[in-house]
Structure 1
Amino acid sequence: MQPHIIPGNPPIEVILRHSTRARRISLRVSRLDGRVTLTLPKGVREAEALDFARQKQDWLRHQIARQPDQVQVGIGVELPFEGRPLLVTHGAGRKVDIAQGELRVPGSVDRTAARLQGWLKEMARDRLTAASDRYAARLGKSYSRITMRDTRSRWGSCSSAGALMYSWRLILAPATVLEYVAAHEVAHLKEMNHSSAFWGTVDDIHGPCMEQRKWLRDNSEFLHRYRFGD
């Protein structure tokens, strides 16, 4: 859907979302990328909703200004890997390599971001598959498959068919946070809810997780600030 533009300094892109479940007009500014979503209940005209958004434009600009700056990944940029900041540099050979606090990316400089993104996805799959296997074994359950995505609203999910999905950006977070998310989703193989029984299952296979949950609440938007040209 083509976004609507509220003119001003800066102009604001607003994405309209129709919902049969919403009871009132609402505005949401994503903490992950600053995207503005205007939700319309059934029967509300777009003109009325956009007028509501225009009345809130000062608040919207304030919220958008609080978002972390976007970072285009390339040579000379500092990028976290498993929570550790590394300097992206041009490397020799055929594979991405970590050495002396650097992420060394071989090949054409123009392809640095794409090459690095592919490598990060591969590392995320390796780490998350190993963690999922370990927690599933502790639980005595099995999952059907694992997929990697670049999700904005959640770090992982577990379907009723036992399919696990994770955001590959978890590889940017500390390893303990990635481990917690894997345990969280694997626990859903037993409890498809967030009841006390579910959290008890997470504790059984992972241990205490309040520190990791707090880290995600406090830092999620920073993991999404890195752009790879996509």
Structure 2
Amino acid sequence: MPVLPGSPPVEVHLRRSARARRFSLRVSRLDGKVTLSMPLRARDGEAMEFLRGHEGWLRETLRSMPESAVRPVGIGSVIPVEGRDLRLASATGRGVRLEGDRLLVPGDPVAAGARVAAWLKVLAHDRLAAASTRHAGMVGRRYSALALRDTRSRWGSCSPDGRLMYSWRLVMAPPAVLDYVAAHEVAHLVELNHSPAFWEVVDRICPGWKAQRAWLHQHGQTLHRLRFQD
């Protein structure tokens, strides 16, 4: 990953694309991630030259972003877990665990964010697998695989061959929100589109889904703003 030197240095994610005909620079309003898209055959040196030519714009864009755009997670932080606000606290022992309104994190405090992220991914897989299996049973279908990603453009997806993909950050949302996204993707096992027939399936297996979708539209970005590791 190239770094644009300066104060502060800026990490830049390179994205080569067969569809790209020129360089383009983007800063995510969710978490401040800087992405430089470039043609497949472009050289890294050309990418750095493009970055230096747009350094003024890039640094001004980063400075203009609200402080709340990125929230590093560490000991003392408060994060949502299944809709509950929990404070991270140092602890002894081997595994991350719940205790009242605290999330106890053993080990080196510097690695607390990464350890919590790993714990959340396991919890997310358990919850999403259970919800997906339950909804799939309701529509008489089976999914072929289930995977977790840290996607920013969508909360879930369903491929034509029945593979389900979800954002693991859903486990931080209220359980009913996670359940709606699972129902939405499972409904694609029946209707691989967003036709009225598709929404009829969603209505049947997840009554009241509109309130959960509204929650995601209103609060979903806050889940992406949590940075669990550098």
| TM-score normalised by the chain length of structure 1 | 0.78
- In structure 1, the residue matched to 2:90 is 90
Tell me the SS of whatever aligns to 1:177: helix
Unaligned runs of at least 5 residues, structure 1: 41-45
* 1:109 CA drift (Å): 2.2
- Relative to structure 1, the CA distance from residue 16 to residue 114 in structure 2 (aligned partners, 3 Å threshold; closer, same or farther) is closer
Q: Does 1:76 align with 2:73?
A: no
In the aligned structure 1, how far is the partner of 2:123 from the partner of 2:130? 11
| CA drift at 1:199 | 1.0
Q: 1:13 to 1:90 in 2, by over 3 A?
A: closer
Distance in 1 (alpha carbons) for counterparts of 2:129 and 2:198: 21
The alpha-carbon deviation at position 14 of structure 1 amounts to: 8.4
- 1:183 touches 1:202 (CA, 8 Å); kept in 2? yes
**Contact persistence 1:97–1:105 (CA under 8 A):** yes
Question: Residue type of the partner of 1:126?
Answer: D
One-letter code aligned to 1:33: D
1:26 is displaced (CA, Å) by: 9.1
Matched, 1:208 2:208: yes
Q: Give the percent of matched residue pairs that are identical in Structure 1 and Structure 2.
A: 51
The counterpart of 1:32, out of the listed 27, 30, 42, is 30
Q: Mark the runs of 5 or more structure 2 residues left unpaired by the alignment.
A: 39-45
- Residue 185 of structure 2: aligned partner: 185
* 1:25-174 equivalent positions in 2, closer than 5 A: 30-35=28-33, 65-66=65-66, 68-174=68-174
Q: Structure 2 CA distance, aligned partners of 1:105 and 1:15? A: 30
**AA matched with 1:155:** W
Q: What's the RMSD between the two structures over aligned residues? A: 3.5
Change (3 A) 1:121 1:57: closer
SS of the aligned residue for 1:138 comes to helix
How many angstroms apart in 2 are the aligned matches of 1:146 and 1:174? 21
Secondary structure of the 2:176 match is helix
Matched-pair contact (CA < 8 Å) for 2:31–2:69: no
Measured after TM superposition, the shift of residue 156 of structure 1 is 0.7
Specify the SS of the correspondent of 1:223: helix
Residue 168 of structure 2 aligns with an amino acid whose one-letter code is: W
Which amino acid in the other structure matches residue 152 of structure 1? R
What do residues 61-80 of structure 1 show as CA deviations (whole Å, max 9, x unaligned)?
697x2473312211111111
Shift of 1:195: 1.2
- The 8 Å contact of residues 68 and 221 in structure 1, kept in 2 or not, is answered as no
* Count of aligned residue pairs for this structure pair: 227
CA distance in 2, matches of 1:175, 1:11: 39
**Which residue does the alignment assign to 1:43?**
none
1:110-163 Cα distance to aligned partner (Å, 9 max, x none): 332222111100000000000000000001000001011111111111001100
Change (3 A) 1:62 1:203: farther
Deviations 1:7-32 (A, max 9, x none): 9x99998889798989xx99865342
- Using a 3 Å threshold, how does the CA distance of structure 1 residues 67 and 203 change in structure 2: closer, same or farther? farther
Q: Which moved further from structure 2: 219-228 or 184-193?
A: 219-228
SS in 2 for 1:90: strand
In structure 2, relative to structure 1, the CA distance for the partners of 1:188 and 1:19 (3 Å cut) is same
Judge conservation of contact 1:125–1:168 (CA < 8 Å) in 2: yes
CA contact 1:32–1:220 (8 Å) conserved in 2: no
